[in-house]
Amino acid sequence: MATNARGYPEISFVDTDTETLVNALIQSYEMFTGRKLYPADPARLFILWIADIIIQERVNIDFSAKQNLPRYAEGEYLDSVAEIFKDAYRLEPEKAQTTLRFTLSIAREVPTAIPAGTRATVDGDIIFATLEKLTIPAGSMNGDVAAECQTAGEIGNGFIPGQINQLIDIFPYFGSVENTTESAGGADEESDTAFYERMRESVETFSTAGPLGAYEYYAKSASALIVDVKAASPSPGVVDVRVLLQNGELPGEEILNTVADKLTADTVRPLTDQVTVSAPEAIEYDIDFTYYTQEGGALSAEAVAANVQAAAEQFKKWQASKMGRDINPSYLISLLMQAGAKRVDIRSPVYTPVAENAVAQIVNTAIVPGGAESE
């Protein structure tokens, strides 16, 4: 039996097969009228028109019925069926955060107050505003304060220290401003697939004994950027939580702090648990191989080269999208063969086991075309 992308058997509430319906209508017409319908008969063309309308209605009915099942539901329908799960709500877009350091032009004999909402920018388009009032003590030259991007989504992520350095709201004795941490934590609205998986995991939270599955659920609820979480208990009362972001990216300080705040809330963490949140261990590997094409093959050398490059990128994404996924050159070979290579000589990677709290991270990529070979 066929299954859908969420792992359950495919079902239909009504038959939407056009040919079956048309045959049934024609047979009924011929039975009641006693005359044969030929392909060009106007009555047959009318029946085909009626069948098209009926099929469209059946498709709509089938779609509507499926939206009542979480595994088929999409968009606002999925939001609605989430009410049958415990405290499951789609994650809204989030704003990236960072820490801004303001430096005065001179040390003053009195404290200097920088109001909340003071704005700094990267390029005039991406703007960060301070979240609270900053007071630089008398005699000090600088002070740090948390700031948030004014635009929700991933657009505010990835600005390394020093890039957010243009002040919009100038104040007396201003010297300079710059971010001291890489901006992170911005996320687009949670996708249907991620929301569905998290809804299913919400049942883990019914226990009050602190199951590892509950920690993983709450960690994923901290940000839509998080694609994988592994919780482990290396010793009694100690919980080690590892977090992986989209596209295999390792989380920075801002995301880790967000997850830690979520997991240490009084309504989440059992009283005796000591929770640590960190990035997974990075197991580095290289891709280095030579591929050969089929002489006189159906694909040109240029087409195979493009396919091979795409296959290597697909392997990198697959390898980095889940913690505990062993570095598997066999899968790389299968992708390259599907891409049109006649054979491949893999020098790296070699099979490497990856621990549950670790993730494979690509370092160098070398793809060498070996030319065409006869069969």
Q: pLDDT of 101-152, one tens digit each? A: 999 999 999 999 999 999 999 998 999 999 999 999 999 999 999 999 999 9
Q: How far is CA 353 from the centre of its chain?
A: 24
Rounded CA-CA distance 139/104 in Å is 10
**What is the structure's pLDDT at 203?**
67
CB proximity list for 225: less than 8 A, separation 6 or greater: 154, 157, 185, 186, 187, 245, 246, 255
Residues 243 and 187 sit within 8 Å (Cβ to Cβ): no
**What is the structure's pLDDT at 1?**
45
Residue 364 phi/psi, 5-degree rounding, is -125, 150
Residues 183 and 149 sit within 8 Å (Cβ to Cβ): yes
Using the structure block, give the residue that is written with the tokens 């030579």: 290
**What is the structure's pLDDT at 239?**
87
pTM exceeding the 0.85 threshold for the entire prediction: no
Determine if the peptide bond prior to 349 is cis (ω within 30°).
yes
Q: What is the pLDDT of residues 292-306, one digit of tens each?
A: 998 887 888 899 999
**What is the structure's pLDDT at 39?**
83
- CATH dotted code for 192-279: 3.30.300
Least Cα distance to 96 among 150, 35, 34 occurs for: 150
**What is the structure's pLDDT at 83?**
75
Sheet strands (E) in the chain: 97-104, 112-114, 119-121, 127-130, 134-136, 142-149, 166-167, 174-179, 226-235, 238-245, 274-278, 281-294, 343-348, 358-373
**What is the structure's pLDDT at 222?**
84
List C-alpha distances in Å: 51 to 20, 41, 48, 352.
Answer: 10, 15, 5, 58
Using the structure block, give the residue that is written with the tokens 């505010």: 156
**What is the structure's pLDDT at 210?**
58
> Which stretches of 68-220 are DSSP H helices?
75-81, 192-201, 212-220
Low-confidence ranges of the chain (pLDDT < 70): 1-8, 86, 203-210, 271
